[in-house]
Structure 1
Amino acid sequence: MLDKEGLLMEHAKIRHSKNKIRNALLTILKEKSIDKITVSDLTKTAMVNRSTFYSHYADKADLIEDLEGYFINEIETILNTTFKNNSIENGVVMSIQQLIVFALEPVNFNFLKIMLSENGDPNFANKITQSISNQISLVTVLDNHLSTYIKRFVSRGLIELVIIWIGDDDRPDPQEFIELVKKTQLLSPVQLILNQN
């Protein structure tokens, strides 16, 4: 039976091997699309054997779900905290600011840039969109059938802006981007087109 120190060492080993596998996935995704990656690719790049991989993950999809789940949980925590303490208008603006700060952390930025790229998981953007839609449902009284369209329009538009911004090597600075996102959330599409300054 392991004592407390032994358990801590065991947990550290698990974290270490899982991190090697996660980092291997991100490394390979720079060159290869997610659907073409095999468990053999992952174990070779991570320098772990197959039994180590399978002791942590059922398959490649389980690994992807694990990685994406962490980010979705972080995003939901940011949205929940921000919206809970503010009006809807302020919540939108402040949650955008908090999400940008989160996205700019180097590890997070690298992950998002890869996972939202052509090589990444095409379902990841949809998962984030659904999280934002769910948050809108919690803070508004929209509950009719048409509200589904509105929530999807708002949340998907926001995600598309983030995807473009993260993938743009000549991206505007964070504050300029936040101002742009605020405009997209507070003005109509026609107003945005007419007032591009």
Structure 2
Amino acid sequence: MKKKTGQTEMTQRNFQDAFWLLYEKKSIDKITVKDICSLAGYDRSTFYRYYADVYDILHELENQILDEVDEFVVHLVKQANNFDASQALQAILGTFARLNKYIIVLLGPHGDTEFIRKIVENLKPIWIKYFFRTNQYTAAEVDFLMEYYISGLISMYQKWFCDNNGVSIERIIQLSYQTLPDATIFENFYK
């Protein structure tokens, strides 16, 4: 694969920024290549050198975010012996907070449901490592529990990122923690 030049990277970044400004305000089906080009200051032929269509630019941005989440998950799973469950939740929320500009939109009303499914899948190794380490569940039960809890927590985080209503991040972490099955198995959380 060819290495991108500085000009190529800048042009792609300009298209992505223009797309993002539009996507924050309206759904993907209402965004046109013409809109993106007009906002970015390029013609359509330049756009098509980099992207097939509007969905292509969305998927590229989503993949960049998912790659960051994957790197984070791998790192956090490797640190399993050094973290407790509350620290893992703080790390998850910290990553989401850093990507806040994108997460709010991608998990919002104009967001992509496939992206949400991918986030849930990418976070599962953390949940297995930190939150469902007991022997009281079968593998199939753990899978169902993770799907339920991760989806619910993503919805709660989505609401918090969009409008926190004065609720602190620490309190959101506590609320998240309290929703886990048999949270009493985790030590030091309420101390």
**Alpha-carbon distance, 1:69 to partner:** 0.9
CA distance in 1, matches of 2:24, 2:44: 22
- Candidates 142, 149, 164, aligned match of 2:144: 149
2:91 matches 1:98? yes
* Greater length-normalized contact order (CA 8 Å, ≥ 6 residues apart): 2
- Equivalent position of 1:133 in the other structure: 124
Q: Judging changes above 3 Å, is the alpha-carbon distance between structure 1 residues 181 and 147 closer, same or farther for their aligned structure 2 residues?
A: closer
2:161 paired residue among 160, 166, 172: 166
- Of 159, 172, 180, 1:177 maps to 172
1:96: Cα distance to partner? 2.0
d(CA) in 2 for partners of 1:171, 1:66: 34
Q: Secondary structure at the match of 2:167?
A: coil
User: What is the percentage of aligned positions where both structures have the same residue?
Assistant: 22
What TM-score do the two structures reach when normalised by structure 2? 0.79
Whole-Å Cα distance in 2 between the matches of residues 162 and 93 of structure 1? 15
Query: How far does residue 157 in structure 1 lie from its aligned partner after superposition?
Result: 1.9
Name the CA distance, whole Å, in 1 between partners of 2:96 and 2:37.
28
Q: Which amino acid aligns with 1:100?
A: L
- CA drift at 1:163: 0.9
User: Matches of 2:178 and 2:164 in 1, distance apart?
Assistant: 22
CA-based RMSD? 2.8
- The answer as to whether partners of 1:34 and 1:119 remain within 8 angstroms in 2 is yes
Instruction: Name the amino acid aligned to 1:38.
Output: T
**How many aligned positions are there?**
178
TM-score by length of 1: 0.77
Whether the aligned pair in 2 keeps the contact of 1:43 and 1:53 (CA below 8 Å) is: yes
In structure 2, which of residues 69, 91, 96 is the aligned counterpart of residue 75 of structure 1?
A: 69
Gaps of 5+ in 2: 184-191
Distance 1:56 1:171, change over 3 A: farther
In the aligned structure 1, how far is the partner of 2:6 from the partner of 2:110?
Answer: 30
Residue ranges of structure 1 left out of the alignment (5+ in a row): 1-6, 189-197
Return the alpha-carbon distance in structure 2 between the equivalents of residues 114 and 74 of structure 1: 17
1:83, 1:95 within 8 Å by CA — same for their partners in 2?
A: no
SS of residue paired to 1:185:
coil
